[in-house]
Structure 1
Amino acid sequence: MNQSPLVSPSSRDLIANRYQLKQLIGSGGMGEVFLADDILLGGIPVAIKFLLRTVANSKMQEDFAREALMSAGLSQKSIHIVRAYDYGVSEKGKPFYVMEYLCGKSLKDLIPLQLPMFVTISRQICLGLQCAHQGIKIDGKVHPLVHRDIKPANILVVPDPILGQLVKILDFGIAKFLNNASTGSTSGEFHGTLPYCSPEQLDGEKLDSRSDIYSLGVMMFEMLTGKKPWQPETDYFGAWYKAHNFEPPQAIANVNPALRLPQKLNDLIMACLAKKASDRPQNIAEILQVLETLEQPKYSSLPPTIASKPIPNISLSSGLPLAVEQTCLQLAWPQDKPIQEIVFPLLLDTPQGSVAALWLMLPQQEIKKRALSIRYNQFIFATSPHPMLLWVTVLYNREITPKWLPCYLDMQNSKNRRLVQALAENERYPLIFFSMEAPYSCTKVLSSCIDPTQRRMLKNWLDQSQNLPRSNQSQLSKQLLKQQYQQMQPRILEHLESKSKAVVSSLI
């Protein structure tokens, strides 16, 4: 979205006594989007979309509230749907909803795509749509959601440290609300985007997930070729109605003869563009099945530091220097710690120097199960209002529930700064497992690798934290980090699932 000048002072009042508008960052056929600060949560940035449609009566307010609630509930289920936090109606009767603020590019600005990127982005779009079509439960009843306006402008691609490129679908439920708001009007107003509308949508029929699949087919055609499947003489409703209902789509090979597509991908896109809903793939799972079988490496767009990150962690040895491993094996459980399932960080003095370690206590049987887990780590830093670091380690095994090991480090504490210094200086850190059964001894030592990029970040954050002014708002920074942590978890799991499948495939 293009940046615009600051909004006028009259529009800078607090929205819902919480959101301070800052500037207009985008506009389109449905409304305007503003960057705002959430004052209640310490000024974190959010995006607020004001719809152009005015809510004139209580029935329309109820319709908007229902769609907003369903969209918000849906956004909690899938990382590929923009997260919605809040909604309301302004004093002028304009409905608005509050979303996460994302710095990324619209898919329309990235088209056309190379095949590996196409597969990556299409798969994530499908995962978001599949979640919506499966529906959300409200008052004991499952409500499937159809987007009704799938197009490149409603797909945001965000750089992501875990997945490389994270896809977010925008505006779920909004097209339906606008359609409902127009019911009974004589304006003949149509809500949707003509080049992407299914024949049944143009005919005003009741829509199901297969309408989104048609729009997805149009978009996939465009993602690969840079052009749409039809080129009508005008952009008027009648011309597009004729194209969607009666004209066959162009062949991809004719639009871009240099493009060499797997036949099953070409057939898939053409099937999505079938005039009759019964002739299309009947659900997103069928599309995902084809995308999964394409001979393209998953997440081929991952940054090198992540995509090439080895998984030697599944070996039985810890991968640590022998002197460090021996030091860990000789440790005793601290007397000031309870005998229960806990994790905490501690700095160890070893013959190899100081090492930051994670101490864990688990039942012996669980330690055995976790011994072959893939280990993964992430670090998140908050500079304000208080310097705080979140150190996350994940033990992942497809056979059991992932074990999350978060540690929050107050970076105004000198002991924690020494811990971070040790993390930045060492390629690996130990995970020291103690049994909950007497004599509570160390029974296993594993390690997790920190890639060079992360270690450089840790060093920079360490330097920053020492130069920041003193603060007493550690709990607020911790709360902000917790929110980011919760948003990251599904992406981490998706990445680890992909890695786990790759390891299994290499052994077959």
Structure 2
Amino acid sequence: MNNSPHASPENQELLANRYQLQKLIGKGGMGEVFLASDVLLGGTPVAIKFLSQTVNSKIEAKFNREALLSAALSQKSIHIVRAYDYGVSQSGKAYYVMEYLSGRVLKDLIPTPLPIFMNLARQICLGLQCAHQGVNMEGKVYQLVHRDIKPANIIVIPDPMLGQLVKILDFGIAKFLNSAAPIKTKGFHGTLPYCSPEQLEGSEVDSRSDIYSLGVMMFEMLAGQKPWQADNNYFGSWYKIHQFEQPKAITEVNPYITVPQPLNELIMACLEKKPENRPQDMGHVIQTLSKIDISDSAIPHNTHNTVEPQHTTHHPLVSENSEKISNSYGKLVWPEGKPIQEIVFPQLIDTGKASTISLWLMLPAQEIKNRADNKIFNQFTFITTPHPMLLWITLLYHPQLGPRWLPCYLDMQNPQNLHLVSALTTDQSYPFFFFTLEPPHNCVKILTNSISSAQKQKLKTWVTQSQQLPSSSQSQASKKLLKEKYKQIQMQILAHLESQNQSA
């Protein structure tokens, strides 16, 4: 009988005289997951995970004990994936049999809107609390620590009562792999970006290690990125980060969202380096979550003022240079050095006494006309490493026409760009010039868009940070990172606008 998980499933006989493997449905660092049918239960679908750790006779008893504990735990909480069976195949691969769930992995739902986050986070915490409280076997209470909490180990399935039901995977299995690992790993087994400092040390861990991993995951759920960016995915890089580097602020990673202060404080407390400085048990985390009011934060805060487009001669500019800008409206000429194509870029314009920042945009004349009643939004995002760079996003939005995205990437070690961004912080608004793609490429419309006080303060901070950072030559690497973040921000803004349209 060939029960190796790597063999073709259709050629395999029954595993444990009961399970018929159908197809590979998942693969990761801990092993492979197959869809199978339980022939003793009339072909009921189940999921079978074959662990990457090969089991010999010396550690088979250890695996059996951990699998038995995990199975017992799964009977206690609806938020832990139900484990039915376990064993070791003839090829020496440990496996365990779970309920088959038709849902989505949490990592595919990130970034998570705040109301959904609150629902999912509470359920994750309830599952962890149940495990940390332990299961009673033969008169003894065994407390379980997961050791590998991460978005890939959380399944979210539709539920008629909760809307979305959370299930946590792989309880107890990480501990088995940890204890069965070769000495050269120092007893470490987990996923580096989510590991607690004490876990990376190879020390014995308790529930507070899971709380640290939970903090990393909650941060990522809200911000769309982890609290740190590593240069590489090697152990040494993540060891240094978890031991010594403080997490970024959520709003620094994703300034578009508004996170209630108590929630922000909770996540940062979970990310404390020393276990004694974190919440000491999951009950405290759950209690804090239950007290958080998201009524003012359920919809992402929109600091991007909408300017109703009008003819320039009737559209007042807030800037003190408004009259001079208006008078120059028909005299503006598309710069010779700029290509004749659909682009957007910031430009300083001389008004006599001072220079004012402006945005210049070239579009087909018909599109400019069609978008006469568009709303305008702006968004700024900044990263410091590996190179300071600012992403300035402008969105022209119309429910029928859809979005017109206008991103500008500004190298913040370029003196001209520093001057541009500094100029953004001095006025309450800036002009937005529309030029036709068709000859003679005239400026045919001017709008203004506002900069909120909060935005201006962030821009000032980013200018100061950029001036203090050492010289770097990795601008393209930062631009690549910002392009990835840009995709996340696009989804968030559109989700916000669509929700506004539905409620209107």
1:235-274 per-residue CA deviation (whole Å, 9 max, x = no partner) reads 1111111110111100112111121111000000000000
Shift of the 290–78 alpha-carbon distance from structure 1 to 2, 3 Å rule, reads same
Deviation at 1:8, TM superposition (A): 2.0
| Paired position in structure 2 for 1:26 | 26
Match of 2:284 among 273, 283, 286: 286
| CA-based RMSD | 1.6
| Paired position in structure 1 for 2:41 | 41
1:183-221 per-residue CA deviation (whole Å, 9 max, x = no partner) reads 5x4466741000000000001111000000000000000
Deviation at 1:295, TM superposition (A): 2.1
| Paired position in structure 2 for 1:56 | 56
| Paired position in structure 2 for 1:251 | 249
| Paired position in structure 1 for 2:110 | 111
Opposite residue 205 of structure 2, the aligned amino acid is L
| Paired position in structure 2 for 1:87 | 86
Indicate conservation of the 8 Å contact 2:10/2:22, yes or no: no
1:389-416 per-residue CA deviation (whole Å, 9 max, x = no partner) reads xxxxxxxxxxxxxxxxxxxxxxxxxxxx
Indicate conservation of the 8 Å contact 2:223/2:251, yes or no: no
> Match of 1:235, SS?
coil
Deviation at 1:233, TM superposition (A): 1.3
Partner Cα distance (1:104, 1:112) in 2: 17
| Paired position in structure 1 for 2:236 | 238
TM (norm. structure 2) is 0.56
> Match of 1:88, SS?
strand
Indicate conservation of the 8 Å contact 2:9/2:23, yes or no: no
Ranges in structure 1 where 5+ consecutive residues have no aligned partner: 1-5, 301-508
Partner Cα distance (1:192, 1:198) in 2: 10
Indicate conservation of the 8 Å contact 2:26/2:34, yes or no: yes
Opposite residue 244 of structure 2, the aligned amino acid is F
Indicate conservation of the 8 Å contact 2:208/2:279, yes or no: yes
| Paired position in structure 2 for 1:8 | 8
> Match of 1:52, SS?
strand
Deviation at 1:290, TM superposition (A): 1.4
Partner Cα distance (2:7, 2:113) in 1: 38
> Match of 1:26, SS?
strand
Indicate conservation of the 8 Å contact 2:9/2:22, yes or no: no
> Match of 2:255, SS?
coil
Indicate conservation of the 8 Å contact 1:7/1:24, yes or no: no
1:245-394 pair list within 5 angstroms: 245-296=243-294
1:333-375 per-residue CA deviation (whole Å, 9 max, x = no partner) reads xxxxxxxxxxxxxxxxxxxxxxxxxxxxxxxxxxxxxxxxxxx
1:145-160 pair list within 5 angstroms: 145-160=144-159
Aligned pair count reads 291
Shift of the 11–198 alpha-carbon distance from structure 1 to 2, 3 Å rule, reads farther
Indicate conservation of the 8 Å contact 1:221/1:228, yes or no: yes
| Paired position in structure 2 for 1:143 | 142
1:432-471 pair list within 5 angstroms: none
Opposite residue 64 of structure 2, the aligned amino acid is A
Opposite residue 34 of structure 1, the aligned amino acid is F
> Match of 1:131, SS?
helix
1:24-70 per-residue CA deviation (whole Å, 9 max, x = no partner) reads 1111101111111111111110000011111122x310110000000
Partner Cα distance (1:269, 1:53) in 2: 33
| Paired position in structure 2 for 1:327 | none
| Paired position in structure 2 for 1:502 | none
| Paired position in structure 2 for 1:200 | 198
Deviation at 1:182, TM superposition (A): 1.2
1:255-310 per-residue CA deviation (whole Å, 9 max, x = no partner) reads 1112111100000000000000000000011111111112248xx9xxxxxxxxxx
| Paired position in structure 2 for 1:216 | 214
> Match of 2:53, SS?
coil
Deviation at 1:162, TM superposition (A): 2.1
1:475-497 per-residue CA deviation (whole Å, 9 max, x = no partner) reads xxxxxxxxxxxxxxxxxxxxxxx
Shift of the 232–138 alpha-carbon distance from structure 1 to 2, 3 Å rule, reads same
Determine if the alignment matches structure 1 residue 17 to structure 2 residue 17.
yes
1:146-184 per-residue CA deviation (whole Å, 9 max, x = no partner) reads 00000000000011122110000000011110111115x
Opposite residue 119 of structure 1, the aligned amino acid is M
Determine if the alignment matches structure 1 residue 71 to structure 2 residue 65.
no
Indicate conservation of the 8 Å contact 1:12/1:22, yes or no: no
Larger Rg: 2
Indicate conservation of the 8 Å contact 2:53/2:94, yes or no: yes
Shift of the 195–97 alpha-carbon distance from structure 1 to 2, 3 Å rule, reads same
Partner Cα distance (1:89, 1:10) in 2: 20
| Paired position in structure 2 for 1:97 | 96
Opposite residue 156 of structure 2, the aligned amino acid is V
> Match of 2:252, SS?
helix
Opposite residue 62 of structure 1, the aligned amino acid is A
> Match of 1:245, SS?
helix
> Match of 2:48, SS?
strand
